[in-house]
A and B are shown apart, each in its own frame.
Chain A
């Protein structure tokens, strides 16, 4: 409308604006990754290369684009009929998707499935998580028939609504530890196997003589332009930083007694490359701690990952704004509020040094991630049926409901009654709304994936970002 007023010679001053969606994607990805580009340019380029690997990896790296699309006026700013002011102040995972689900050996007594990535945990409208989870189902199985994808998405949203209603009525929360559920049982079985065998210790450390030392090298071969699982040496400065930060870790534990006194003895520190997608460039260290006995079998492996700001939810304000001592404290505090048990991971805590803060967690075989690649493979092979997947997605959605329903929002209210009131018993309509959105948005995301690969090709590994 403005443009027609301008003579052609003035128009020539403007850059080529090209396709609107591509321009938006380009600008927002460059802005969101700016800190990474400037702090860790090589790792940031690897992150973008990893995002270009599969549509699901791209989904994992674009939580901020999803938040913008849903929360800012535009074509995907879709009204919900199941919202309220209070339902907009819930505690969220912030990035609920299939690969943020994994196993925990809670309190060393109960192996269960729970959400496991809370980097983006924040306060906002609950349906953001539900829709994101449904989109992730749509992207993970994008090649399947539309009717089937709708069925899976609706099963998830329906289960979410039912679980919220059950929680609001005071029924006990859902725990995903049922071995009869094919997909999640497979995850539990492999976690038990690897946990008992100590596979993580075996993969990331080596016993030399009577001492266990961190392994250096490739645990998994790299992908095209990015690492998958490689351990490298750390500098003396990094060692000093990690050792100093670790002093603050015991006080952040839910029960400091779980860490034996001898654990103060650090046996080795290495840097892990290749983990995650969204947080790929952030420093992630594996620290080997001496166990309670001189034997090498009880040594502990923990992970320290730098905690960054959560994904920005545009327009979402809280009065007053919840505050935390640092980002790792936010992640840990909100993880405990959102998980089934406070000690899903007894070693969960934070370590801070100056402006740096790290989320600390156990690195053990009992913690195993749901893999979309495995899910696709098993389904393609016919080992897992559509009904099995439906059952798994419903269970994961129930976990989400349990997390939302049991957590206190920024308004100090518990989630379940508030969300149940917003849904108002209209379970089918709620499921329909979620799948309507997710079906369309999954297609948008698949198209964005192609746009993104074109941007990488045209503008290079940093998307044309200009440094300071």
Chain B
């Protein structure tokens, strides 16, 4: 049935993606403990490929109330919102490939790093706190030698997926990327990627400076991934003078294919370079990955069991001088399903 629907919608070629994560989260703070079932993630997307035309639409669920708001839409319902909606073109001449797209576009840095990040169905990249996952605008790219090297430039309104234009500024992003190694590992294709970017931007009615600089190195096989990323923000939370640095490292490896694997993550975010505002998060966990008949690497079911320790420096938490108010342990059980359904003409 799904195939028929996809064929009807996506002629002549394309794919449907589905990512679902259902959680039970327990948070342990000094004097507080809370457990809750949550829909950690629900995302559906469709990609269309028609000659030189490419299109993508992805939708996700979010809670409708803003932070500390009692109510959103019909209480605090889970509502569907656009995560990315884009249409573009691609063309190639010999080893060169060019492309351009417009719409609600994925952040070009996050997009590239996520390609080397195997835990997307568990957690977002920590750099996402400093970068909107998508922005309204246009992007062009030039790749060479099967994307061994590439550069891209993007223009956006700088307000992310949640706001319309609020000032006259245009965010400009430049990204460069490469694949320094591509080969076989554990009898399967593997590759290492490098990506770097910078952005000159502004945000809000006050056109507050919102510049970014970052780089990442990742490696991925079908058995797992490893990576590091670094992003520096000049201007954050409407404060132009605030300098924030996010450093993250992650690794996961399927120890016994078809059975289970292990993962670890570490994030260190300096929330203000002028204060002792370091926030650190260390996570470790296991995942069970039952072998599904006929499953491809893009079709998997995982049960994650993770523990995270979140700690704050004296000035990192909301109550300066009282980090223990927000230091916490988080136990997460997530059942995650990721499925990509390809459709040919």
- A residues near B (Cβ < 8 Å) are 1-3, 5-6, 10-11, 13-18, 20, 22-28, 30-31, 68, 70-75, 77-81, 83-89, 122, 125, 309-310, 312-320, 323-324, 326-327, 330, 355, 410-411, 413, 459, 463-466, 468
Q: How far is it, in angstroms, between the C-alpha of A309 and the C-alpha of B71 when the chains are bound?
A: 8
Q: Is the CB of A73 within 8 A of B70?
A: no
Q: Is the CB of A24 within 8 A of B234?
A: no
- Measured between beta carbons, the chain A residues less than 8 angstroms from B172 are 10, 13-14
Number of contacting residues on B, CB 8 A? Answer: 64
Q: Which of B33, B68, B275, B316 has the most chain A CB atoms inside 10 A of its CB?
A: B68
Q: Which of B170, B209, B242, B272 contacts A17 (CB 8 A)?
A: B209
Q: Is the CB of B316 within 8 A of A85?
A: no
Q: Which of B30, B36, B207, B274 contacts A320 (CB 8 A)?
A: B36
Task: List 10 interface pairs A-B (beta carbons < 8 Å), by A numbering.
Answer: A15-B168, A23-B206, A26-B204, A30-B206, A31-B205, A70-B320, A77-B275, A309-B69, A320-B36, A466-B166
Q: Is the CB of B213 within 8 A of A2?
A: yes
**Chain B 237-262 interface 0/1 with A at a Cβ cutoff of 8 Å (1 = within):** 11111110000000000000000000
With A14-B201, A122-B68 given, is the CB distance from A2 to B166 under 8 Å? no
Q: How far is it, in angstroms, between the C-alpha of A216 and the C-alpha of B177 when the chains are bound?
A: 69
- Measured between beta carbons, the chain A residues less than 8 angstroms from B36 are 320
Q: How far does the Cβ of A417 sit from chain B's closest Cβ, in whole Å?
A: 13
B189 interface contact, C-beta 8 A: no
Q: Which of B202, B241, B315 contacts A14 (CB 8 A)?
A: B202
Q: How far is it, in angstroms, between the C-alpha of A22 and the C-alpha of B239 when the chains are bound?
A: 10
Q: How far does the Cβ of A308 sit from chain B's closest Cβ, in whole Å?
A: 9
Q: Is the CB of B32 within 8 A of A89?
A: yes
- Measured between beta carbons, the chain B residues less than 8 angstroms from A75 are 274
Q: Is the CB of B240 within 8 A of A3?
A: no
Q: Which of B30, B208, B212 has the most chain A CB atoms inside 10 A of its CB?
A: B208
Q: Which of A15, A72, A464 contacts B237 (CB 8 A)?
A: A72
Q: How far is it, in angstroms, between the C-alpha of A310 and the C-alpha of B65 when the chains are bound?
A: 13
Known pairs A11-B200, A87-B322, A125-B325; list 11 more (Cβ under 8 Å).
Answer: A14-B170, A17-B207, A23-B206, A73-B271, A73-B275, A74-B239, A78-B320, A84-B325, A85-B29, A314-B318, A319-B34
**Chain B 309-322 interface 0/1 with A at a Cβ cutoff of 8 Å (1 = within):** 00000111111111
Q: Is the CB of B198 within 8 A of A27?
A: no
Q: How far is it, in angstroms, between the C-alpha of A225 and the C-alpha of B251 when the chains are bound?
A: 60
Q: How far is it, in angstroms, between the C-alpha of A114 and the C-alpha of B206 when the chains are bound?
A: 38
Q: Is the CB of A6 within 8 A of B321?
A: no
B232 interface contact, C-beta 8 A: yes
Q: Is the CB of B319 within 8 A of A27?
A: no
Q: Which of B68, B70, B170, B238 contacts A13 (CB 8 A)?
A: B170
5 closest Cβ contacts across the A-B interface? A315-B318, A27-B204, A79-B321, A26-B206, A15-B207
- Measured between beta carbons, the chain B residues less than 8 angstroms from A89 are 31-32, 325
Scan residues 26-41 of chain B and give those whose CB is less than 8 A from a CB of chain A: 27, 29-34, 36
Q: Which of A16, A27, A315, A326 contacts B71 (CB 8 A)?
A: A326
Q: Which of A1, A85, A315 contacts B324 (CB 8 A)?
A: A85
With A15-B202, A85-B29, A85-B324 given, is the CB distance from A327 to B164 under 8 Å? no
Q: How far is it, in angstroms, between the C-alpha of A3 and the C-alpha of B241 when the chains are bound?
A: 12
- Measured between beta carbons, the chain A residues less than 8 angstroms from B169 are 13-15
Q: Is the CB of A25 within 8 A of B206?
A: yes
B345 interface contact, C-beta 8 A: no
B286 interface contact, C-beta 8 A: no
Q: How far is it, in angstroms, between the C-alpha of A200 and the C-alpha of B209 when the chains are bound?
A: 50
Q: Is the CB of A2 within 8 A of B205?
A: no
- Measured between beta carbons, the chain B residues less than 8 angstroms from A25 are 206
Q: How far is it, in angstroms, between the C-alpha of A399 and the C-alpha of B315 when the chains are bound?
A: 30
- Measured between beta carbons, the chain B residues less than 8 angstroms from A71 are 318-319
With A72-B237, A319-B32, A319-B33 given, is the CB distance from A31 to B204 under 8 Å? yes
Q: How far is it, in angstroms, between the C-alpha of A6 and the C-alpha of B203 when the chains are bound?
A: 18
Q: Is the CB of A74 within 8 A of B242?
A: yes
Q: Is the CB of A466 within 8 A of B318?
A: no
Q: How far is it, in angstroms, between the C-alpha of A159 and the C-alpha of B21 when the chains are bound?
A: 52
Q: Is the CB of A85 within 8 A of B31?
A: yes
- Measured between beta carbons, the chain A residues less than 8 angstroms from B32 are 89, 318-319, 410-411
With A85-B29, A327-B70 given, is the CB distance from A79 to B232 under 8 Å? no
Q: How far is it, in angstroms, between the C-alpha of A53 and the C-alpha of B282 when the chains are bound?
A: 50
Q: Is the CB of A466 within 8 A of B68?
A: no
Q: How far is it, in angstroms, between the C-alpha of A86 and the C-alpha of B325 when the chains are bound?
A: 7
**Chain B 79-113 interface 0/1 with A at a Cβ cutoff of 8 Å (1 = within):** 00000000000000000000000000000000000
- Measured between beta carbons, the chain B residues less than 8 angstroms from A24 are 206, 208, 238-240
B118 interface contact, C-beta 8 A: no
- Measured between beta carbons, the chain B residues less than 8 angstroms from A317 are 326
B211 interface contact, C-beta 8 A: yes
With A23-B208, A28-B238 given, is the CB distance from A6 to B198 under 8 Å? yes
B294 interface contact, C-beta 8 A: no
Q: Is the CB of B314 within 8 A of A79?
A: yes
Closest to B33 in A: A319
Q: How far does the Cβ of B23 sit from chain A's closest Cβ, in whole Å?
A: 14
Closest to A23 in B: B206
Q: Is the CB of B319 within 8 A of A3?
A: no
Q: How far does the Cβ of B77 sit from chain A's closest Cβ, in whole Å?
A: 12
- Measured between beta carbons, the chain B residues less than 8 angstroms from A309 are 66, 68-71
Q: Which of B29, B70, B167, B209 has the most chain A CB atoms inside 10 A of its CB?
A: B70
- Measured between beta carbons, the chain A residues less than 8 angstroms from B239 are 20, 24, 72, 74
Q: Which of A78, A85, A330 contacts B325 (CB 8 A)?
A: A85
Q: Is the CB of A2 within 8 A of B167?
A: no
With A10-B172, A30-B206, A79-B321 given, is the CB distance from A319 to B27 under 8 Å? yes
- Measured between beta carbons, the chain A residues less than 8 angstroms from B170 are 13-14
Q: Is the CB of B277 within 8 A of A73?
A: yes
B165 interface contact, C-beta 8 A: yes
- Measured between beta carbons, the chain B residues less than 8 angstroms from A466 are 164-166, 205
With A17-B240, A73-B242 given, is the CB distance from A330 to B202 under 8 Å? no
- Measured between beta carbons, the chain A residues less than 8 angstroms from B272 are 73-74, 77
B67 interface contact, C-beta 8 A: yes
**Chain B 14-51 interface 0/1 with A at a Cβ cutoff of 8 Å (1 = within):** 00000000000001011111101000000000000000
